[in-house]
Amino acid sequence: MNTAAATGLLHLIAAEPGLLAAAPEGATGDDLHRRAGDEDHPCLGCGAPATCAVVVETGPSGPRWLDLCSPCWHTVRQANEGTPDSAGQ
């Protein structure tokens, strides 16, 4: 997945949050770890086994899970911030 695809994914999620699985209200780090580590979810970007899970607030639809593998998470984060990786964290 490249940055353009990641941007498209973010736009799709914003438009159709129902595509994502509902996440619990107030999910904690433990919830994220369990989702990413103990459960089996495909990466939304490329279909590989997801290793990262984040909760996105979608407004009326509530919190939703965003499952990603490490490379896609990296790309999505860049797309979301709109900054090149060399800018540093």
Judged by beta carbon, residue 24 or residue 47, the one nearer Zn ion is 47
Residues 17 to 36: which contact Zn ion by CB under 5 A?
Answer: none
Which token pair is 83?
A: 């900054």
SS3 70: helix
Q: Choose the binding region for Zn ion from 26-34, 41-49, 52-60, 81-89 (rule: CB under 5 A).
A: 41-49
What backbone phi and psi angles, to 5 degrees, belong to 7?
-60, -40
Tell me which of 6, 9, 20, 45 binds Zn ion, using CB under 5 A: 45
- Minimum Å distance from CB 45 to Zn ion? 4
Judged by beta carbon, residue 17 or residue 73, the one nearer Zn ion is 73
69 near Zn ion (CB under 5 A): yes
Question: 24 vs 3, 54, 61, 79, CA distance in Å?
Answer: 28, 12, 12, 25
Please state, in angstroms and rounded to a whole number, the distance separating the CA atoms of residues 80 and 35: 22
